[in-house]
Amino acid sequence: MLSVHNIHQYYGGSHILRDVSLTARAGEVTVVLGRNGVGKTTLLKSLMGLVPIKSGSIALEGREIQRATPYQRAHAGIGFVPQGREIFARLTVEENLRMGLATKPGGTPVPPQLYELFPVLRQMLHRRGGDLSGGQQQQLAIARALAAGPRLLVLDEPTEGIQPNIIKDIGRVLRRLADTGLEGVSTGPMAVLLVEQYYDFAEELADQYLVMERGEVVARGPGSEMREKGVRQLVAI
């Protein structure tokens, strides 16, 4: 689904991403781990076109998109859940979800399947986003990214500041999306690319993992090998 080859990215004179390559496949959760400041969020912003890359290539389903705008990448089938959620605090839950339909024709309804994934959103449909708890806002941010039926879902630390019961709910949703997609919204299993600091959550979900240090990928492999490879120690603060 997503193929990233040898990308480099700079902020001013600082070399932030160094020869990063990765693949995210449909039907799998690919987890990127690493300590604070190693370039994980910059990697996702580069994938979304929010910051430019200096060199390398980014391809979605075989089509290079490194020169595409963020809007074009969203239209091509990438859903993005940014760090900190970034919902619209003054808009209602329903209005936030409609923002996720910006790439669709006017009048496209909010997919009811989103309320099956996150029942609390139906209960709070007319409440302003800023009045929700942090966990509810995170569920709203994920639902908004899913509204247009992406084939690749990219999430930046969705467990940050979230209560444990909602973390479990989010984990179940991500596993379902990777395994089967969202019936009636997506076409088959999704590729999920997850940047995460919470190791146990990452290990439970990962089909594939990568570890970053100083802007480079220093370890990678199947999620089933994370424990024996000592990945927890690699990312411990």
Which pLDDT score is estimated for 184?
A: 72
Average of pLDDT values for 103-128?
90
Strand duo 191-195 + 152-156: pairing = parallel
- Strand ranges across the sheet with 55-60: 14-24, 2-11, 55-60, 63-64
pLDDT band with cut points at 50, 70 and 90 for residue 237 = low
Average of pLDDT values for 48-58?
95
Which pLDDT score is estimated for 85?
A: 84
What is the pTM assigned to this prediction? 0.93
Sign of CA dihedral 193, 37, 163, 99: negative
Tokens (6 digits) for 155: 């999430």
pLDDT beyond 70 at 72: yes
Which pLDDT score is estimated for 94?
A: 94
Which pLDDT score is estimated for 188?
A: 85
Distance of alpha carbon 145 from alpha carbon 89, whole angstroms: 16
Average of pLDDT values for 52-73?
95
Distance of alpha carbon 137 from alpha carbon 157, whole angstroms: 13
pLDDT band with cut points at 50, 70 and 90 for residue 185 = confident
Which pLDDT score is estimated for 182?
A: 86
Tokens (6 digits) for 145: 């990214």
The number of beta carbons lying within 10 Å of the beta carbon of residue 187 is: 12
- Strand ranges across the sheet with 78-81: 78-81, 152-156, 191-195, 29-33, 208-213, 216-222
The angle at the Cα of 177, spanning 150 to 22, to the nearest 5 degrees, equals 70
pLDDT beyond 90 at 37: no
More confident residue, 84 or 175: 175
Measured between alpha carbons, how far apart are the two ends of the chain, in Å?
32
pLDDT beyond 90 at 176: yes
